[in-house]
Amino acid sequence: MIYFKVDDLPDIKSAVQHIMDKIKLDHNNHLQLLCFHVPTADDEIIKKLEKITFNYTIKHVMNCTYLEIKYGM
């Protein structure tokens, strides 16, 4: 999977944690970008996500939160 987008996610941290755990279990390092529609994302949510996505860059633009893999990891 190269791109994955989810709309209207009630608990982004739990969803991202589940996806990251699944990636680790499957030894899948092909995911390059996750996009979540999270209109209420704030600095606290971003900090929580940074703790579980150490090799991804996190950006919040408009109402979407993007997790993009850091190349060279």
Report the CATH number that the domain containing residue 41 is assigned in CATH: 3.30.1370
Structure tokens at 10: 């009630």
Amino acid in position 49: L
Confirm if 45 and 12 have CB atoms less than 8 A apart: yes
Q: What is the pLDDT of residues 6-63, one digit of tens each?
A: 666 667 778 788 777 777 666 656 677 888 777 777 788 888 888 877 778 888 888 8
Tell me the whole-structure pTM to 2 decimals: 0.67
Encode burial over 12-28: b for 16+ CB neighbours within 10 A, e otherwise: beeebbebbeeeeeeee
Number of domains in the chain: 1
Give the structural domain span for 23.
3-69
Length of the chain: 73
